[in-house]
Structure 1
Amino acid sequence: MRASDRAYAALRDDIIEWRLLPGTVLAEVEQSARLGISRTPLREALSRLTAEGLTTAGGRGVVVTDISLDDIDELFELRETLEGKAAALAALRGDAAVFRALQEELLGAPALLNSPDPNRHDYYELVGRLDTAIDAAISNSYLAQAMRSLRVHLVRVRRLAADDQARLTAAAAEHAAIAEAIAAGNPRLAEAATTVHLHRSLSHVKAVHASAQKEPHG
């Protein structure tokens, strides 16, 4: 892997996981030393992050972007349009057996999340497999690419509220309902189940974000 690709992947992960907080200045000398690369590949990585909207270049240099409540509203407006359509197309074009299997796994997800040692990594991996299955089922490369670009920002928003056990458990049931509707070949139900999930997710994320804005991230 090229040095610029490694730097991009490392910085992107740090931003999405909130290890690099909004407002952090990504100074070239400091980041080059931290990542063990020269400044040229670092600049390439920073340019890619800026193109994705994860950083912005200004007078202070390259800075990690903030996520405001307005940003969250806009992201979810786009998400409802794209994901609702994708779920409907997946119901029409997808392999029912694939989504029935995912539904069964999602119905078992609360056991992962509510065990004495909750396994959120496996849960997020399962949700990622549902996303991948929908992307494959819709047979529309442009729509799939648009959703992949959007998910970069959604993962960042999601991590903001990742520790809420009750919300994750409810979201697992909502994802199971989406998979069930797709498996049933019912596009209207699949789109409706997606809309319900997104509405509940948006309400929760905005509430958590508003609370987090009152305190420094830690």
Structure 2
Amino acid sequence: MRASDRAYAALKSDIVEWRLVPGTVLAEVEQSARLGVSRTPLREALARLGAEGLTAAQAGRGVVVTDISLAKMTELFDVRLALDCKAAELAAAHRNPHVFTALAQRFEDASSLIAGADPDQRAYYALVSELDLAVDDAADNQFLRQAQGQLRAQLVRIRRLAKDNSDRLLASAAEHAQIARSIAGGNTDLAIAATKIHLHNSLAHLLASKLSFDAGSTPSRKAHPNG
């Protein structure tokens, strides 16, 4: 793996896991030493993170980890609503029903991953990623896939604010199951509607979590699988 790729992967993981919190200055000398790379590949990594909206240059401070404001979260979900609904519509029209029926069943059985005797929320979020990829594959639209990729880096970090709320995750699992069932059945209208409901509920919960975080709480430090 190239040095710039290693630096990018390490910094991105630190940002989305909240080990590098919003406002952290990513000084070149310090980060180069910490990551064991020279300043040129570090700059390449920071440029990639900047393109994803995870870092930004600030006058007098250098490159910093970007903040997640309530306004930014709402704007992100405005775009996500358009993209996810279109992806669900296309997926329902071109799906392999067996793939989505199986995913729906796994979401319906996901309570043990979220709030069972031995919960594994890492596995649950891996399942969410499987559904995302299955929708991408079924929709089969290169430009839509690229646009979704730009959003998901931010979404992983935002989800991190509230990922340990088992009640919300159980509701989310039911919503994902409905999306998968709708796509499996080829019902485009229901797939769009189910996606809208899920996004509305997710945004409402995340905004409330952000307010709580700003009031003084901190996100859990447990590992997050992706996004």
Q: What TM-score do you get using the length of structure 2 for normalisation?
A: 0.94
1:1-218 maps to which residues of 2 (within 5 A)?
A: 1-58=1-58, 59-215=60-216, 217=218
Which amino acid is 1:153 matched to? Q
In the TM superposition, residue 95 of structure 1 has moved relative to its aligned partner by 0.5
CA displacement at 1:43 relative to structure 2 = 1.0
Q: Once the 2 structures are TM-superposed, how far is the Cα of residue 39 of structure 1 from its aligned partner? A: 1.2
Deviations 1:79-105 (A, max 9, x none): 111001110110001101100010011
Residue 125 of structure 2 aligns to a residue in which SS? helix
Q: Which amino acid in structure 2 is aligned with residue 20 of structure 1? A: L
CA–CA distance in structure 2, aligned partners of residues 26 and 116 of structure 1: 40
Describe the superposition over 1:153-188 as per-residue Cα deviations: whole angstroms up to 9, x where unpaired: 111100111110110111001000000000010000
Provide structure 2 residue ranges, at least 5 long, that are not aligned to the other structure.
220-227
Partner Cα separation in structure 1 for residue 143 and residue 124 of structure 2:
27
Deviation at 1:40, TM superposition (A): 1.3
Deviates more, 1:180-189 or 1:208-217: 208-217
Deviation for aligned residue 1:217: 3.1
Q: Which residue of structure 1 lines up, in the alignment, with residue 223 of structure 2? A: none
Answer whether contact 2:112 2:118 (CA < 8 A) is retained. no
Equivalent residues of 2:4, 2:44 under 8 A apart: yes
Could you tell me which runs of 5 or more consecutive residues in structure 1 were left unpaired when the two chains were aligned. Answer: none
Contact 2:29 2:39 in 1 (8 A): yes
> What is the one-letter code of the residue matched to 2:199?
L
| Equivalent-residue separation in structure 2 for 1:62 and 1:152 (angstroms) | 18
Distance 1:216 1:94 in 2: 42
1:44, CA displacement in angstroms? 1.0
Out of 178-187 and 35-44, give the one that drifted further: 35-44
- Is the partner of 1:57 in helix, strand or coil? strand
Contact 2:12–2:49 at 8 Å: present in 1 too? yes
The two structures have a TM-score, normalised by structure 1, of 0.98
Indicate the residue corresponding to 2:225 in structure 1: none
Q: Give the superposition deviation at 1:216.
A: 5.6
- Offset of residue 51 of structure 1: 1.6
State how many pairs are aligned.
218
CA deviation map 1:60-89 (0-9, x unaligned): 011000000000100111111100111011
The answer (yes or no) to whether the contact 2:115–2:166 under 8 Å persists in 1 is yes
Tell me how far 1:116 sits from its aligned partner. 2.2
Q: Secondary structure at the match of 1:160?
A: coil
Shift of 1:136: 0.3
